[in-house]
Amino acid sequence: MYNDIIVDNFSAPNYVGDLETADHEIEIGNPVCGDRIKVQLLISDSQISKAVFRAWGCATSLATANVFCRSIEGQSITTISKRCTQEISSMLGELEPSQRHCLDILSELHSKLVSQLDIGVA
Amino acid sequence: MYNDIIVDNFSAPNYVGDLETADHEIEIGNPVCGDRIKVQLLISDSQISKAVFRAWGCATSLATANVFCRSIEGQSITTISKRCTQEISSMLGELEPSQRHCLDILSELHSKLVSQLDIGVA
Amino acid sequence: MEQQRLSGYFDYNATTPISTEVVESMIPTIKHFANPSSSNRHAMLSKKIINDTRNQVASLLNTQPSKIFFTSGGSEANNWAVKGVLLNHIANPGHIITSEIEHASVLSTVEYCVAHFGFSVTYLKPDQNGKVNVSDVERALRDDTQLITIMYANNETGVLQPIPDISKLARDKHIPFHVDAVQLVGKRRIDLEALHVDYLSLSAHKFYGPKGVGCLYIKDASRITPLIHGGGQELSMRSGTENLVAIAGLAKAAQDASNQVERWDQNNWSCKQYMMSLLDSSPIQIKYNGSTAYNDALSNTLNISIAGIRGEALAARMEIMHSYIISIGSACSNNKAKNISHVLEAMTLSDDDIVSSVRISFGRFTSRDDVKRFVTTLVAEVQALIAISGR
Amino acid sequence: MEQQRLSGYFDYNATTPISTEVVESMIPTIKHFANPSSSNRHAMLSKKIINDTRNQVASLLNTQPSKIFFTSGGSEANNWAVKGVLLNHIANPGHIITSEIEHASVLSTVEYCVAHFGFSVTYLKPDQNGKVNVSDVERALRDDTQLITIMYANNETGVLQPIPDISKLARDKHIPFHVDAVQLVGKRRIDLEALHVDYLSLSAHKFYGPKGVGCLYIKDASRITPLIHGGGQELSMRSGTENLVAIAGLAKAAQDASNQVERWDQNNWSCKQYMMSLLDSSPIQIKYNGSTAYNDALSNTLNISIAGIRGEALAARMEIMHSYIISIGSACSNNKAKNISHVLEAMTLSDDDIVSSVRISFGRFTSRDDVKRFVTTLVAEVQALIAISGR
Ligand SMILES: Cc1ncc(COP(=O)(O)O)c(C=O)c1O
Ligand SMILES: Cc1ncc(COP(=O)(O)O)c(C=O)c1O
């Protein structure tokens, strides 16, 4: 079943939306289960000032998109880039085996964000 | 389980006993299950005036011995010899498959009685 | 699950709510511990319970009690039928005909016999409506065909298979025919006198009875080997001390089904028609998977694909936010591999249609009002998910 | 059978009274119908019940929960162990070692494998005390021995078999070893960490639990084939929707046994010693069949032959006239053939001793007072039967 983090973020995702002019966009898709997530960002001074998403996928992956947006909004790229694997894993709470692919989604969102915006990290 | 006829005749067999001087004795033994029955009789005027038995065997065969004694006491050999198979079968009530060998015991008691005393039948 | 939550339960094909009457028939037997195999007087009551159940099941199926053998459920019954027939041909393993849409307890047993004992197998594909065709069965027949095993009603789509026709064919060719009727019993009437199949499986928990008990109907016990040998219960065909409590529950479940199956079916059919009309006139875009006509499918089952969403996410929102229970055609799996319905795949649905599919199944405790509330919620949640996706 | 009649129940080895605590643990689960295989929230409770039970059974046996697999009872567990191991050698059927005193669910499964798949078998004879000797097992070993299956405690005599020694031997020779521990569990403690056997069967209804549920302990699941294939329950080793109600009862039965087995055993041992002393000082002439020492036999079982009577007639009078339940070593049978205990026969008892034998078995609800009344009645009824026979 779904843990409380997933339930909250999935049943009332508050980062759903589109930006008319985004500073940056991350898109990932899981070729196997077909989940698709698009995150749009407003960035100022290497800070994420706004993050919104669109997603098509399973409950846990929708929740993951919301968790990700909340966790980056208001943060600097540098801070985000310092998150270790363990920290990232714990963001989704305890997952059932069949939900663990969402950890990959979450890491991929992180690594895409950091690698694509590495200007900020330097 | 045991039907009422068997239960009554087995738990309170009232024809158990020995005669000091019997006019006739019938003994049968079942070679397979080892049941043994001995019936002793007093006979006067081709009438069974007294019947008693000793038996070693299963519950149903003990009951059979008692049923037999009761059924012949006071009867003439001729009357007894006229009992048909169906009548004999019904004397023990409804039996489970494993108890049906007692029908053989009962017929054997009848046929031994009649064949050994056939003077009376003639 | 509480009785009052039943109006949100739309997963009857997974398992049915146990009826109050069945519960009440089970409780007094829990304390009655006499072993039915013993010969004491208390054991008589145990034997009587077992005999009564056998009579009830036989009358439910219109057959003789002596042809009903109790098992621990539908899976054991299916395993028994398949292995019990095939292992008699171990010296000369031949050919099996089955379909791609069988339940796992048939499919994996067949696979085991193929891999392990050298049998060969033809898996029949259903048509796009989810139905296996008799002509395909006929074409698949070989001189060495030793078993045909086809289910009566599919658990995912509810689609009815042409069992009477296959039965006729099997009889003509003298090939043993096993029918997994686990999903049919309690939903439509079965008449074994008319049907003439050789083996038929059922499971109590699919028709308001307890879990852990089922039956295999066996027309001729001399042709099948036991799966569980031993102490001689069930005419030595299925050994093991009997599960008295569950068997007592099965008696009541069988009796109720026998008396009420037509009534239950009427209610289901009315709910299904209503649900389809509500769905059809809703703004969401759906496809029905498998036939939906009365004569082609169970009245209690709808399998639909909904454009723009994932079935898993819909089922999650339906349950988490509204306590509705439905089933899905595709789940995430722990090894990232696909975990999608083999039934829908066999019907050649696209992956997209499969991941967006849900199975809705209901039963005797479902009302048209429940259906209406359910569809309203479903439509709203589909729209919410589409909104999240931004399409 | 009512609880108040328990003082007359001396047939615990056939089945035990279900304890009130077990009944109470089962009743609430009857209505909880969620299928444990489903992924909805209600199914979580079903899964929890199953996991709890697995933990309880594992702790009862001192092993890991992941090695406990639920079955429909002891017979299925025995069938599974024997066939599950042997059918992996179908291409190369080898040799089995078992004993003449096994339960029918082992013996007839072995016979089936021999007759049907070409395995060969050595049936070990017990000594006159009812015990199989380790040295006989050792002598029977062959290069192609593929399975040893020996019971822990015999159901008719209570005699304990040298399982730790056979286990050591089997391990040294790398031969899979299955133990039918159905009669031991709940009567003596088992420590699987110390015992190192490969497979071990148990059945809930022999230790105050419900009928229709048991377990097979499997040390290494990769070495055994499922008996029931299908939907993937029990790590795909034993498919079929779980019998939740019975499994819930097993949890409580296992927990109670785990906490109380020594206490129960003490009570049994005290009853047994008392019974033997009463019998020994009575006027009737008896012989004990099988060892009676604490270390050699279960504390709850006495098998005796009584000179001058038939066990069947004694059991009948005990029950009909006094509501006492005992078991017999020989029954009449419907085809006039002998139907006598294969266990006592293997111990080379004479036919006379076998037909005059009865099995007396008791348990946690038996008191010394019950024993005293029982023996008084037994002695009187033996004398009554001897009187009828006129000896
Ligand atoms: C078509 C079909 N066959 C067999 C089974 C297995 O029955 P059981 O759950 O009693 O093992 C099921 C249910 O899961 C089923 O739907
Ligand atoms: C030694 C032994 N093994 C196996 C069994 C079979 O167990 P179940 O009655 O659960 O099928 C029994 C009991 O009948 C037994 O006494």
3-class DSSP state of C214:
strand
User: Over the stretch D74-123, which tens digit does the pLDDT of each residue have?
Assistant: 999 999 999 999 999 999 999 999 999 999 999 999 999 999 999 999 99
CA nearest to D44 within chain A: A1
User: Over the stretch B13-68, which tens digit does the pLDDT of each residue have?
Assistant: 999 999 999 999 999 987 666 789 999 999 998 899 999 999 999 999 999 999 99
Instruction: With a cut of 80, say whether residue C31 has pLDDT above it.
Output: yes
User: Could you say which DSSP state residue C11 is in?
Assistant: B
Instruction: With a cut of 50, say whether residue C387 has pLDDT above it.
Output: yes
CA atoms of C282 and A75, how far apart (whole Å)? 43
State the best of B1, B15, B52, B62 to mutate against chain D, taking most chain D CBs within 10 Å: B62
The answer to whether C148 and C136 have CB atoms below 8 angstroms apart is: no
User: Could you say which DSSP state residue C126 is in?
Assistant: P
Chains with at least 3 CB pairs less than 8 angstroms from chain D: A, B, C
CA nearest to D249 within chain C: C30
- Beta partners for D1? none
State whether C11 and D38 contact (CB < 8 Å).
Answer: yes
The DSSP bridge pattern shows strands C357-361 and C286-288 to be: unpaired
Q: Give Cβ neighbours of residue C203 (< 8 Å, ≥ 6 apart).
A: C73, C74, C75, C77, C182, C185, C213, C214, D241
State the best of D320, D388, D391 to mutate against chain B, taking most chain B CBs within 10 Å: D388
The answer to whether C287 and C352 have CB atoms below 8 angstroms apart is: no
User: Over the stretch D224-275, which tens digit does the pLDDT of each residue have?
Assistant: 999 999 988 999 999 999 999 999 999 999 999 999 999 999 999 999 999 9
> What ipTM was predicted for this assembly?
0.92
Q: What percent of chain C has pLDDT over 90?
A: 91
Residue C3: what pLDDT?
A: 47
Rounded to the nearest angstrom, the distance between the alpha carbon of D13 and the centre of ligand 2 is 9
> Please, what is the average pLDDT of chain D?
95
DSSP C156-184: TT-BBP-HHHHHHHHHHHT--EEEE-TTT
Closest CA to B70 of B4, B28, B8: B8
Question: Residue A98: pLDDT band by 50, 70, 90 thresholds?
Answer: confident
Chains A and B are in contact, defined as 3 or more C-beta pairs closer than 8 angstroms: no
Residue D334: what pLDDT?
A: 64
Q: Give Cβ neighbours of residue D204 (< 8 Å, ≥ 6 apart).
A: D73, D210, D211, D213, D214, D246, D249, D250, D253, D254
Find the CB nearest D33 among C18, C27, C229: C18
Strand order in the sheet with B24-29: B24-29, B36-44, B47-56
Structure-token match 């899979």, residue found: D176
> Please, what is the average pLDDT of chain C?
95
State whether A11 and C320 contact (CB < 8 Å).
Answer: yes
Instruction: Give phi and psi for C53, each to the nearest 5.
Output: -65, -40
Closest CA to D235 of D250, D245, D249, D224: D224
Residue C35: what pLDDT?
A: 84
D312 in contact with B, Cβ within 8 Å: yes
What is the arithmetic mean of pLDDT over C259-284?
A: 98
> Please, what is the average pLDDT of chain A?
90
The DSSP bridge pattern shows strands C177-180 and C145-151 to be: parallel
Instruction: With a cut of 50, say whether residue B92 has pLDDT above it.
Output: yes
Higher pLDDT, C223 or C339: C223
> From the CB of D75, is ligand 2 less than 6 Å away?
yes
CA atoms of D261 and B90, how far apart (whole Å)? 51
Instruction: With a cut of 60, say whether residue D3 has pLDDT above it.
Output: no
| CB contact residues (below 8 A), chain D span 315-354, against chain C | 319, 325, 327, 331
Question: Residue A121: pLDDT band by 50, 70, 90 thresholds?
Answer: very low
Helix, strand, coil percentages (3-state) for chain A, rounded to 5, are 45, 20, 35
Rounded to the nearest angstrom, the distance between the alpha carbon of C101 and the centre of ligand 1 is 13
A32 in contact with D, Cβ within 8 Å: no
Where would I find the H helices in chain D?
20-30, 41-61, 74-86, 104-117, 134-140, 163-172, 192-195, 244-280, 311-322, 342-346, 351-355, 368-389
> From the CB of D353, is ligand 2 less than 6 Å away?
no
CA atoms of D108 and D111, how far apart (whole Å)? 5
User: Over the stretch D314-365, which tens digit does the pLDDT of each residue have?
Assistant: 999 999 999 999 999 888 776 555 688 999 999 999 999 999 999 999 999 9
Residue D271: what pLDDT?
A: 98
CA atoms of D190 and D181, how far apart (whole Å)? 9
Give CA C70 to chain center in angstroms.
16
Instruction: With a cut of 60, say whether residue B106 has pLDDT above it.
Output: yes
Q: Which of A21-35, B57-71, C358-372 has the lowest mean pLDDT?
A: A21-35
User: Could you say which DSSP state residue D199 is in?
Assistant: E
Question: Residue C1: pLDDT band by 50, 70, 90 thresholds?
Answer: very low
Chains with at least 3 CB pairs less than 8 angstroms from chain C: A, B, D
Instruction: With a cut of 70, say whether residue C337 has pLDDT above it.
Output: no
In the numeric block, which tokens belong to residue D275? Answer: 């019974």
What is the arithmetic mean of pLDDT over A71-89?
A: 92
User: Over the stretch C135-166, which tens digit does the pLDDT of each residue have?
Assistant: 999 999 999 999 999 999 999 999 999 999 99
CA atoms of D358 and D269, how far apart (whole Å)? 19
Residue C2: what pLDDT?
A: 47
The answer to whether D303 and D288 have CB atoms below 8 angstroms apart is: yes
Taking contacts as CB-CB distances below 8 angstroms, the residues of chain B near D390 are 16, 18, 38, 54
> From the CB of C75, is ligand 1 less than 6 Å away?
yes
Q: What is the largest CA-CA distance in chain B?
A: 41
Residue B119: what pLDDT?
A: 53
What is the arithmetic mean of pLDDT over D362-374?
A: 97
What is the arithmetic mean of pLDDT over A36-55?
A: 95
Residue C336: what pLDDT?
A: 54
Question: Residue B101: pLDDT band by 50, 70, 90 thresholds?
Answer: confident
Residue B116: what pLDDT?
A: 83
For residue C43, give how far its alpha carbon lies from the nearest alpha carbon of chain B (Å).
9
Task: Determine which residue's CA is closest to atom 16 belonging to ligand 1.
Answer: C155
Q: Which CA distances in Å does C92 have to C80, C95, C118, C146, D128?
A: 19, 10, 9, 10, 44
CA atoms of D199 and D176, how far apart (whole Å)? 8
